[in-house]
């Protein structure tokens, strides 16, 4: 049972191995995250307020970008046999609802001794770097 | 690289991984001496050393370590120092 999650072998996850996913955060996701988190900061919920603060539109929640990281790690990189163990992420430029973004994860370091992947993360929207950082995934599969 | 140079380089790595600025690696230091040194921190220490020193360890090499002094000896052997 994988629930649709990928299940690569440890040895397939070489340094440099890369996975990308395209995503768009829509109004429904914004509303659902506001309900889920309780974060109703008007920069995320009120376009007029966001414009008054110098943004062209509402700003996508950083938490929703991290939700896409969760999906990437849990479903594909490495998928079924990895347990998300840590993340460092800087949000560098705002992403707005309806914009298409690309999340890329790349294996930066694979420790055979520690069974831990260090994964470089990057979110881009066209030429804009939206977010960058790294995550750790502890391997729980076969050696 | 001398043993002291390895310890000097390990100090910020330990402090960063363990989120504890008071930790100073010494030969006798073990995980039991530092509250923040849990199993996940242990993994992170190994990875941080691999990345910082540009070396790779085998799981068996890590499993038999009993203190920081033995870890430093292992690092030295990997560096050929």
| Window from A23-27, A66-70, A138-142 with minimum mean pLDDT | A138-142
Q: How far apart are CA A61 and CA A43, in angstroms?
A: 9
| pLDDT exceeds 80 at position A2 | no
Residue A1's pLDDT band (boundaries 50, 70, 90)?
low
Q: Across residues B55-81, what is the average pLDDT?
A: 93
- Give the residue numbers spanning the domain of A88: 15-26+65-139
Q: Does A124 fall in a domain?
A: yes
Q: What is the mean pLDDT of chain B?
A: 94
> Is the reported ipTM for this assembly greater than 0.90?
no
User: Which CATH number do you get for residue A79?
Assistant: 3.10.129.10
- Domain architecture of chain B: domains with CATH: 3-79 (1.10.1200.10)
Q: Does A42 fall in a domain?
A: no
| pLDDT exceeds 90 at position B81 | no
Most B CBs within 10 A among A84, A113, A139, hence the mutation to make, goes to: A113
Question: pTM higher than 0.80, yes or no?
Answer: yes
Q: Do A111 and B46 touch (CB under 8 A)?
A: yes
User: Into how many domains does chain A fold?
Assistant: 1
How many CB pairs below 8 A link A and B? 44
Q: How far apart are CA B56 and CA B78, in angstroms?
A: 8
Q: Do B47 and A86 touch (CB under 8 A)?
A: no
Tens digits of residue pLDDT in B26-37: 999 999 999 999
Dmax (CA) for chain B in angstroms is: 32
Q: Does A83 fall in a domain?
A: yes
Distances (CA, A) of A14 to A8, A17, A66, A117, A123: 11, 5, 24, 10, 21
Q: Does A31 fall in a domain?
A: no
Tens digits of residue pLDDT in A38-48: 999 999 999 99
Structure tokens at A96: 């707005």
Q: Does A36 fall in a domain?
A: no
């Amino acid at each position: 049972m994988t629930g649709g999650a990928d299940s690569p072998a440890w040895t397939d996850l070489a340094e440099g191995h890369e996975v990308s996913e395209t995503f768009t955060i829509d109004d429904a996701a914004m509303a659902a995250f506001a309900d889920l988190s309780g974060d109703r900061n008007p920069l995320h919920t009120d376009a007029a307020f966001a414009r008054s603060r110098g943004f062209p539109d509402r700003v996508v929640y950083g938490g929703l970008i991290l939700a896409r990281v969760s999906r990437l790690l849990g479903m594909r990189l490495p998928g079924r046999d990895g347990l998300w163990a840590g993340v460092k992420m800087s949000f560098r430029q705002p992403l707005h609802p309806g914009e298409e973004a690309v999340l890329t994860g790349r294996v930066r370091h694979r420790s055979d001794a520690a069974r831990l992947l260090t994964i470089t993360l990057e979110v881009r929207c066209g030429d804009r770097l939206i977010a960058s950082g790294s995550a750790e995934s502890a391997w729980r599969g076969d050696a | 690289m001398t043993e002291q140079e390895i310890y000097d380089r390990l100090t910020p790595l330990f402090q960063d991984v363990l989120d504890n600025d008071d930790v100073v690696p010494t030969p006798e230091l073990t995980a039991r001496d530092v509250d923040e040194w849990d199993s996940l921190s242990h993994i992170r220490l190994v990875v941080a050393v691999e990345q910082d020193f540009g070396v790779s360890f085998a799981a068996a090499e890590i499993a038999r370590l009993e203190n920081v002094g033995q870890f430093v000896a292992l690092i030295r052997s990997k560096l050929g120092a």
